[in-house]
């Protein structure tokens, strides 16, 4: 992030959305709405005085609702660019006409309630789409009790809880009673690899569950983790070694199984009922906290964005590419990389991002489409 | 510069540091240190207002050394160096003290001790700053052409990409023909295309580029030089030729593990005839329909074992592909896949798995503790069936072993010539597993495809395009900038023993044959200091990390002012 933010050739337009794309490879005209932050970008130093004083609290989306933020806020502390934003829908001044507390405390006089959305027109030779994924909402998969039992959370929520900058400052306190979660159950393929939900494998969750279980142990030596899986997908560089370390040094138990249902006891401890597919017997495991490895799905706005860009989606809803031209979309001059075109982990996304950059450079440097026809 | 005028800036980093360390106390403490004429706190030193106030302070207090105690040099060293330069202060007179990653983030629970530690770190930084010297960045010219080593699909793709953006490229392949593993394959997953047709198409589009020179049956004899300036000597038969290139893409791929027939007994009774590898099966399929009626495929044959712990990523899908092809050609053929975990990750492969189940291919899981055995007398594969709790017998007329991709036998050789590392399995080791997957720690050399790790074609192509893009950057920029933080040799002390040359991981220091003294090539040297610590004469030191600079810092660590 820092590197991109600092690069002299990169003009970062955050809090902005692409509205329309016209033209063709080598010459696109892109209209972008730069949304009003109600804060002057050149003045704000993200000092934090405004969000300290702002009286309006809202659940923090970045922490998946496990913490609170103010109506004026930073998306997350390390975010680039570090500029405060007023969430108009929740700000007292915008709803009642009274407050302006932030304005009073901002030493840089950066607050600007009159700021307007700005329409910016860009011209570019090529476009790279890297819009990533959404996490699947598992509420309708009632067998897991997500939404019903407080101590059943998604992996992304878990990542926020265990994060040193997260709402619990890195202490793994479970939602129901703030008790330290020591026995953890991780359920894999939630919503994935299923004809009823998402047909595909998200590719990253077997590994992130292992990482999460390791983190639990590093935060609390008493932690015990049980990972309930179907096939364990550890195909990347060094991954098998990693899970071996998980088993041997971190005491992670990998259980090949099919989870049937999660129930809860009086103390709100989740109980995982599962069929051990190795011995084909039905077993149960009481845990303090359940972490669901939910599918990583195409973003909700992917169809709309595809329309704006004039590109196609594949059967799973990701931006369509051919397997052997992995960064080329169905429209010339528009390229993709990362999770928005299908499951990839970080190193794969990083490598593919360089690939998309190459394809884009090809359009711009070749100055014509000759080498496009590879 | 005579009088020392050190300025210290202690950052709150919002609450990242300020929340755990008493930042004003650290700044006050800094004022008491020798040479410090100015100290202040900043909320975010790196912000526009932060750097502005640092610049003001430099100007107003006539500072000649700047110490910022904040986050990591990785993120903001350039920011503060720039601030110094804008005030006419040499950027190497700036010292970064990390009180976030090295202090506040790791001692969140012990605020008082963290504050004490921060003071000590600042004291060390100030002590070092007193001895800092100016330095200059140098620009080195770049030869605007590239070498691609290996002509498999990765090398072909990288060379096509480089050619396409107008870079003169040399593609070196040791075999007679381009194509790598793909030369020997039948059809390709997930598209179902003919491997040879696909390859022909790719080679044709490569040939279109006149600026790409393809040399086959050729190997690298020597590679000398550094980013922007490599001299590559290639050898074709007896003939040798020299090329000058600015950057290198390594795409030497891997090979399918072929068990030793004489040791077949220990390897599922492998004989290369009735018990073969998937690689051999591809060849068999190329030659015509499979006549055998009962086929058993054993997965993870030779992989995910204590000796070769890794999963080779492509063999599950290769097996499913070939099983489906056989089943499609003749639906009466029984195909059974005996597996441990099925690696059909992502969207397309999961679909292929579904199709293969629909096509009637049988899947039986085995446990690594009781691996399947091949009984050549009974012509059966025996598998311990976990659900039934007993062995089951699968009659066969053909057993196909999914063996892993392994590194080339001569990988050490390339690794030494290029001075880039390999891991314990002989796959090349990138600079950073997550964030720099296509680069080496050595600048100017890039990596893609199965040379890095088993990868399918889609992944190999992505990586190859990415590596080409990385390799093109210095060539298009026309120059590389090098920091002066490098080793230098005091020739009076150097005895010419050559120990430094042996130890330098980058090949940056060499004994000059005439002078009999060690000499350093600035662009290659990473300033790692290995040579300096190994030099028996203490003739070597690292600029910016000279003994007096480091010792001052160390002494400050242990003494209270
Ligand atoms: C719980 C969890 C743990 C994980 N742990 C690991 C791990 O340890 N290691 C690992 O390698 N991988 C891990 N992953 C996978 C990793 O998150 C992905 O590989 C990676 O985030 C993909 O990067 P991306 O840039 O493609 O997408 P994203 O990270 O989703 O980024 C996409 C960006 O695009 C922006 N965006 C979206 N739409 C628009 C639009 N219309 N206009 C402008 N901007 C837009 C989004 O706001 C976002 O900033 C994990 C995933 C999960 C869910
Ligand atoms: C049996 C089998 C079936 C497969 N089927 C599929 C499939 O259907 N679909 C799919 O996506 N993937 C498949 N794969 C994987 C696919 O083969 C790889 O993704 C692909 O070959 C990787 O290409 P590469 O260029 O990185 O490596 P390689 O194909 O190994 O090419 C490397 C090249 O470098 C050359 N070389 C090596 N060392 C040197 C040197 N020192 N000097 C000069 N040249 C050198 C080699 O001779 C070779 O030509 C299969 C693999 C196997 C083993
Ligand atoms: S005006 Fe809005 S953003 Fe500012 S302090 Fe009041 S509620 Fe918060
Ligand atoms: S990566 Fe693992 S948990 Fe995730 S969908 Fe694939 S098999 Fe399931
Ligand atoms: S890809 Fe499949 S067969 Fe190959 S090593 Fe991995 S699990 Fe085993
Ligand atoms: S400092 Fe490191 S890179 Fe530089 S010459 Fe010495 S050993 Fe080589």
How many CA within 13 A on the CB side of residue A17? 9
The CA distance from A160 to A158, in Å, is: 5
B435 and B470 in contact (C-beta within 8 Å)?
A: no
The CA distance from B428 to B448, in Å, is: 9
| pLDDT score, position A184 | 98
Q: Which residues contact B443 (CB under 8 A, 6 or more apart)?
A: B226, B227, B474, B480
CB contact under 8 A, B466 and A318: no
Residue B363 touches partner A, C-beta closer than 8 Å: no
Taking only the tens place, the pLDDT of each residue in A279-321 is 888 999 999 999 999 999 999 999 999 999 999 999 999 999 9
Q: Which ligand is nearest to the CA of B541?
A: 6
Contact residues on chain A for B348, CB-CB shorter than 8 A: 323
Instruction: Give the pLDDT band (50/70/90) at residue A371.
Output: very low
| pLDDT score, position A278 | 83
Taking only the tens place, the pLDDT of each residue in B287-302 is 988 999 999 999 999 9
Contact residues on chain B for A234, CB-CB shorter than 8 A: 311, 341
The CA distance from A227 to A247, in Å, is: 11
> Does residue B304 register a pLDDT over 70?
yes
B34 and B126 in contact (C-beta within 8 Å)?
A: yes
| pLDDT score, position A367 | 61
CA–CA min distance B65, chain A (Å): 24
Q: Which ligand is nearest to the CA of A84?
A: 3
- Residue B103 Cβ inside 6 Å of ligand 5? The answer reads no
User: Helices B457-477 and B153-164, interaxial angle, to 10°?
Assistant: 40
From A366, A367, A309, select the one nearest A336 (Cα to Cα): A309
C-alpha distances (whole Å) from A184 to each of A73, A166, A225, A272, A285 are 33, 19, 5, 11, 10
| pLDDT score, position A54 | 95
The CA distance from B345 to A204, in Å, is: 9
Residues with CB under 6 A from ligand 3: A 54-56, 70-72, 86, 91-93, 99-102
> Does residue A372 register a pLDDT over 80?
no
Instruction: Give the pLDDT band (50/70/90) at residue B440.
Output: very high
| pLDDT score, position A44 | 86
B290 and B429 in contact (C-beta within 8 Å)?
A: no
The CA distance from B527 to B448, in Å, is: 27
* Nearest atom within ligand 1 for CA of residue A296: 53
More confidently predicted of A218 and B357: B357
Instruction: Give the pLDDT band (50/70/90) at residue A111.
Output: very high
Instruction: Give the pLDDT band (50/70/90) at residue A2.
Output: low
What are the φ and ψ backbone dihedral angles of B5, each rounded to 5 degrees? -130, 90
Long-range contacts of the stretch B283-288 (C-beta < 8 A, 24+): B283/B184, B283/B186, B285/B186, B285/B187, B285/B322, B285/B325, B285/B326, B286/B184, B286/B186
CB contact under 8 A, B79 and A358: no
User: Helices B195-207 and B153-164, interaxial angle, to 10°?
Assistant: 30
* Nearest atom within ligand 3 for CA of residue A72: 3
Round the average pLDDT of chain B to a whole number and report it. Answer: 94
Quote the DSSP letter at residue B324.
Answer: H
Write down the number of H helices and E strands in chain B.
14, 28
C-alpha distances (whole Å) from B144 to each of A114, B211, B329 are 52, 12, 51
Taking only the tens place, the pLDDT of each residue in B225-274 is 899 999 999 999 999 999 999 999 999 999 999 998 888 888 999 999 99
C-alpha distances (whole Å) from A215 to each of A163, A182, A204, A252 are 10, 12, 16, 11
> Does residue A368 register a pLDDT over 70?
no
- Residue A133 Cβ inside 6 Å of ligand 1? The answer reads yes
Q: Which residues contact A48 (CB under 8 A, 6 or more apart)?
A: A74, B14, B15, B43
Nearest CA to ligand 3 atom 2: A91
For residue B174, the Cα-to-chain-centroid distance in whole angstroms is 23
| pLDDT score, position B534 | 95
A327 and A319 in contact (C-beta within 8 Å)?
A: no
Q: What are A258's strand-pairing partners?
A: A275
| pLDDT score, position B23 | 96
Nearest CA to ligand 2 atom 8: B188
Task: Give the distance (Å) from ligand 6 centre to CA of residue B499.
Answer: 12
Residue B49 touches partner A, C-beta closer than 8 Å: yes
> Does residue B480 register a pLDDT over 70?
yes
CA–CA min distance A267, chain B (Å): 29
Helix, strand, or coil (residue B504): coil
For residue A201, the Cα-to-chain-centroid distance in whole angstroms is 17
> Does residue A229 register a pLDDT over 70?
yes
Q: What number is the average pLDDT over the span B151-176? A: 97
Q: Which ligand is nearest to the CA of B257?
A: 2
Nearest CA to ligand 2 atom 17: B181
Instruction: Give the chain A residue nearest B191 (alpha carbons).
Output: A323
CB contact under 8 A, B166 and A365: yes
A84 and A69 in contact (C-beta within 8 Å)?
A: no
| pLDDT score, position B11 | 95
Residues with CB under 6 A from ligand 2: B 149-155, 172-175, 180-182, 185, 188-189, 219-220, 251-254, 256, 278-279, 282, 314, 318, 321, 405, 408, 414, 449-450, 455-457, 460
Sheet holding B94-98, edge to edge: B36-42, B6-11, B65-70, B94-98
| pLDDT score, position A37 | 96
Nearest Cβ partner for B309 among A47, A244, A355: A244
Task: Give the distance (Å) from ligand 6 centre to CA of residue B506.
Answer: 7
The CA distance from A254 to B147, in Å, is: 45
* Nearest atom within ligand 4 for CA of residue A205: 4
The CA distance from A194 to A260, in Å, is: 14
Taking only the tens place, the pLDDT of each residue in A88-98 is 999 999 999 99
Instruction: Give the pLDDT band (50/70/90) at residue A250.
Output: very high
Quote the DSSP letter at residue B493.
Answer: T
| pLDDT score, position A374 | 44
E strands, A212-269, are: 224-229, 253-264
B148 and B169 in contact (C-beta within 8 Å)?
A: yes
CA–CA min distance A232, chain B (Å): 6
Top mean-pLDDT range of A106-115, A276-285, B51-60, B452-461? B452-461
| pLDDT score, position B322 | 98
Quote the DSSP letter at residue B378.
Answer: T
Q: What number is the average pLDDT over the span B317-323? A: 98
Nearest Cβ partner for B48 among A45, A237, A356: A45
The CA distance from B488 to B411, in Å, is: 32
Taking only the tens place, the pLDDT of each residue in A124-162 is 999 999 999 999 999 999 999 999 999 999 999 999 999
Task: Give the distance (Å) from ligand 3 centre to CA of residue B23.
Answer: 28
Task: Quickly list DSSP for A295-308.
Answer: PEEE-TTHHHHHHH
Q: What are A256's strand-pairing partners?
A: A229
The CA distance from B343 to B404, in Å, is: 13
Instruction: Give the pLDDT band (50/70/90) at residue A369.
Output: very low
């Amino acid at each position: 992030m820092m590197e991109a933010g600092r690069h002299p050739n990169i003009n970062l337009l955050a809090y902005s959305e692409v509205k329309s794309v016209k033209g063709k490879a080598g010459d696109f005209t892109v209209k972008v709405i730069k949304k009003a932050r109600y804060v002057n970008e050149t003045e704000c130093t993200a000092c934090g005085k405004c969000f300290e004083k702002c009286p309006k609290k809202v659940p923090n989306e970045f922490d998946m609702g496990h913490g609170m933020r103010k109506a004026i806020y930073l998306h997350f502390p390390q975010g680039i660019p570090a500029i405060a934003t007023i969430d108009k829908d929740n700000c007292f001044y915008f709803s009642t006409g009274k407050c302006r507390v932030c304005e009073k405390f901002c030493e840089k006089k950066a607050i600007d309630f009159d700021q307007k959305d700005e329409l910016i027109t860009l011209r570019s030779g090529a476009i790279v789409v890297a819009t990533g994924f959404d996490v699947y909402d598992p509420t309708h998969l009632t067998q897991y009790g997500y939404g019903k039992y407080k101590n059943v959370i998604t992996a992304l929520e878990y990542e926020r809880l265990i994060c040193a900058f997260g709402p619990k400052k890195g202490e793994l306190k479970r939602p129901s009673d703030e008790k330290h979660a020591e026995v953890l159950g991780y359920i894999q393929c939630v919503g994935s690899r299923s004809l009823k939900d998402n047909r595909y494998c998200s590719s990253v969750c077997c590994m992130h569950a292992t990482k999460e279980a390791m983190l639990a142990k590093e935060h609390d030596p008493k932690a015990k983790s049980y990972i309930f899986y179907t096939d364990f997908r550890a195909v990347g560089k060094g991954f098998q070694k990693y899970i071996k370390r998980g088993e041997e040094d971190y005491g992670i138990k990998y259980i090949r199984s099919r989870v049937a249902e999660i129930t809860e006891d009086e103390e709100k401890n989740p109980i995982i009922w599962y069929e051990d597919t190795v011995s084909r017997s039905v077993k149960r495991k009481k845990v303090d906290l359940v972490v669901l490895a939910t599918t990583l799905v195409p973003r909700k706005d992917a169809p709309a964005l595809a329309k704006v860009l004039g590109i196609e989606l594949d059967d799973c809803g990701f931006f369509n590419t051919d397997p052997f031209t992995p960064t080329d979309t169905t429209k010339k001059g528009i390229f993709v990389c990362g999770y928005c075109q299908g499951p990839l982990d970080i190193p794969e996304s990083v490598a593919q991002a360089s690939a998309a950059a190459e394809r884009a450079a090809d359009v711009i440097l070749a100055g014509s489409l000759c080498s496009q026809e590879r | 510069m005579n009088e020392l005028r050190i300025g210290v800036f202690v950052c709150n980093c919002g609450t990242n540091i300020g929340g755990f360390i008493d930042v004003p106390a650290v700044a006050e403490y800094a004022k008491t240190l020798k040479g410090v004429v100015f100290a202040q706190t900043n909320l975010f030193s790196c912000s526009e207002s932060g750097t502005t106030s640092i610049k003001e302070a430099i100007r107003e207090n006539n500072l000649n050394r700047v110490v910022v105690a904040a986050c990591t040099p990785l993120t903001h060293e350039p920011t503060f160096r720039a601030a110094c330069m804008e005030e006419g202060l040499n950027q190497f007179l700036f010292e970064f003290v990390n009180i976030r990653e090295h202090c506040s983030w790791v001692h969140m629970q012990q605020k008082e001790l963290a504050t004490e530690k921060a003071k000590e770190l600042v004291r060390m930084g100030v002590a070092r700053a007193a001895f800092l010297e100016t330095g200059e960045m140098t620009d080195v010219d770049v030869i605007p052409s590239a070498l691609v080593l290996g002509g498999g699909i990765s090398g072909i793709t990288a060379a096509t990409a480089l050619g396409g953006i107008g870079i003169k490229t040399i593609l070196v392949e040791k075999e007679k023909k381009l194509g790598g593993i793909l030369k020997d394959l039948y059809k390709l997953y997930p598209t179902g295309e003919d491997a040879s047709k696909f390859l022909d198409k790719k080679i044709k589009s490569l040939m279109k580029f006149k600026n790409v020179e393809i040399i086959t049956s050729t190997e690298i004899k020597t590679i000398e030089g550094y980013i922007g300036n490599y001299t590559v000597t290639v050898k074709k038969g007896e003939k040798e030729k020299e090329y000058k290139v600015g950057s290198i893409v390594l795409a030497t791929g891997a090979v399918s593990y072929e068990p030793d027939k004489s040791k077949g007994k220990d390897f599922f009774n492998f004989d290369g005839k009735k018990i073969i590898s998937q690689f051999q099966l591809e060849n068999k399929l190329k030659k015509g329909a499979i006549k055998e009626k009962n086929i058993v495929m054993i997965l993870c044959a030779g992989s995910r074992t204590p000796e070769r712990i890794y999963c080779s990523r492509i063999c599950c899908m290769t097996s499913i592909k070939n099983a489906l092809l056989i089943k499609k050609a003749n639906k009466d053929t029984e195909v059974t896949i005996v597996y441990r975990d099925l690696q059909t990750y992502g969207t397309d492969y999961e679909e292929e798995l579904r199709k293969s189940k629909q096509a009637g291919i049988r899947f039986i899981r085995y446990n690594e503790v009781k691996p399947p055995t091949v009984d050549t007398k009974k012509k059966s594969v025996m598998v311990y069936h976990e659900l039934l709790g007993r062995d089951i017998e699968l009659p066969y007329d053909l057993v196909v072993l999914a063996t892993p991709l392994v590194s080339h036998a001569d990988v050490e050789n390339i690794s030494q010539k290029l001075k880039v590392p390999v891991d314990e399995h002989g796959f090349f080791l990138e600079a950073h597993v997550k964030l720099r997957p296509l680069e080496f720690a050595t600048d100017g050399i890039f990596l893609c495809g199965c040379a890095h790790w088993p990868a399918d074609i889609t992944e190999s192509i992505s990586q190859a395009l990415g590596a080409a893009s990385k390799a093109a950057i210095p060539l298009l920029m026309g120059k590389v900038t090098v920091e002066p933080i490098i080793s230098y040799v005091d020739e009076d002390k150097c005895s010419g023993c050559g120990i430094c040359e042996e130890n330098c991981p980058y090949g940056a220091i060499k004994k000059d044959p005439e002078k009999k003294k060690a000499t350093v090539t600035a662009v290659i040297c990473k300033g790692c200091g290995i040579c300096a610590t190994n030099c028996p004469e203490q003739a070597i030191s690292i600029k910016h990390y000279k003994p007096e600079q480091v010792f001052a810092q160390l002494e400050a660590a242990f003494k209270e002012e």
